[in-house]
Structure 1
Amino acid sequence: MVSRISELVIDRADPERLAAFWSEALGYVELSREDDGSIEIGPATPGFGGPQPTLVLSPSSDPRRGKLRLHIDVNPVDRDQDAELERLLALGARPADVGQTGAESWHTLADPEGNEFCLLRTRLQPL
């Protein structure tokens, strides 16, 4: 028996704003809201427990310190990397410099709160 990742919980200053960004970026929908202000987003079907992990955006006032030790990688599914890059930038992502050389096959971006993620080149099949 093994385990698998079912959800990623991410502390955010503005869960509402980040839920909107990541829902649009990943094609996710809002699954639930908690009294503490947390918002869970994920695939519309089957939602939690499916093959893709959900994201729980939890409110936090703790300031971020330094480079993230864990980040999200995303891949385009219905367009090439350049077209997906333009779409993510239009949603509010911005280029991020974390020391890359410029020879990488991926783009390092930051979401609207400055949390880094990478857009990889390989196009994946939709689920």
Structure 2
Amino acid sequence: MACRISELVLEAADAERLAAFWSEVLGYVELGREDDGSIEIGPPDIGFGGPRPTLVVSPSGDPRPERPRLRMDVSATDRDQEAELERLLALGAAPVDAGRTGERSRHVLADPEGNEFHLLPARLPTLPVSAPPR
């Protein structure tokens, strides 16, 4: 395995309300807030990098229907970020100019159908594979 879904980013008109809703639905707790109003929620006592992805609810005033409101962010598990970036590009991912200033070390990419995702700098441990129940 080379990547794991580490977080899902959900754009919302009311980040507070949606974060509270999904916290109740998933049994998550608030893990942190960003200056842009984003709220990260995740499993209690585990946080980012655990076996379940965290959810970042991000305020957005962009109601364009063609813009997806849910994005996956992935983290490498068995190599560094730059090696994983090379692998993803070889698989058909394409860099996206998202107008970022470079203050964060994430890579904005698009899958072969144009769906954007981010490759985060955090390297996460590989999760053990369990056998399906019989």
TM-score, normalised via structure 1 length: 0.50
Quick check: which one's strand share is greater? 2
Which residue number in structure 1 is paired with residue 33 of structure 2? 33
Which position in structure 2 is the counterpart of 1:3?
3
Gaps of 5+ in 2: 72-134
Distance 1:69 1:42, change over 3 A: closer
* Identity across the alignment (%): 73
Paired AA for residue 52 in structure 2: Q
Distance in 1 of aligned mates of 2:35 and 2:69:
28
- Secondary structure of the residue aligned to 2:3 is coil
Q: Matches of 1:69 and 1:36 in 2, distance apart?
A: 16
Shift of 1:66: 6.3
Residue by residue, what CA displacement relative to the aligned partner does 1:51-93 show, whole Å, maximum 9, x if unpaired? 000000111001151696869xxxxxxxxxxxxxxxxxxxxxx
Q: Following the alignment from structure 1 to structure 2, what is the Cα–Cα distance between the partners of residues 44 and 29?
A: 6
Deviation at 1:34, TM superposition (A): 0.8
Q: Pick closer, same or farther for the CA change 1:5–1:13 going to 2, 3 Å.
A: same
Question: Aligned ranges for residues 89-104 of structure 1 at < 5 Å?
Answer: none
SS of 2:24's equivalent in the other structure is helix
Is the Cα–Cα contact under 8 Å of residues 9 and 70 in structure 2 kept in the other structure?
A: no
- How large is the RMSD of aligned CA atoms in angstroms? 2.3
What pairs with 1:1-127 in structure 2 (closer than 5 Å)? 1-65=1-65
Q: Which amino acid is the alignment partner of residue 12 of structure 1?
A: A
Q: 1:45: Cα distance to partner?
A: 2.1
Give the superposition deviation at 1:50.
Answer: 0.1
Confirm or deny: 8 A CA contact 2:18 2:57 kept in the other structure: yes
- 1:69, 1:39 → 2: CA distance? 15
Q: Which range is displaced more, 61-70 or 10-19?
A: 61-70
Q: In structure 1, what is the Cα distance between the partners aligned to 2:51 and 2:44?
A: 12
Return the index of the structure with the highest Cα Rg: 2
Most deviating of 20-29 and 7-16: 7-16
Calculate the TM-score normalised by the size of structure 2: 0.48
The one-letter amino acid of 1:34's match is E
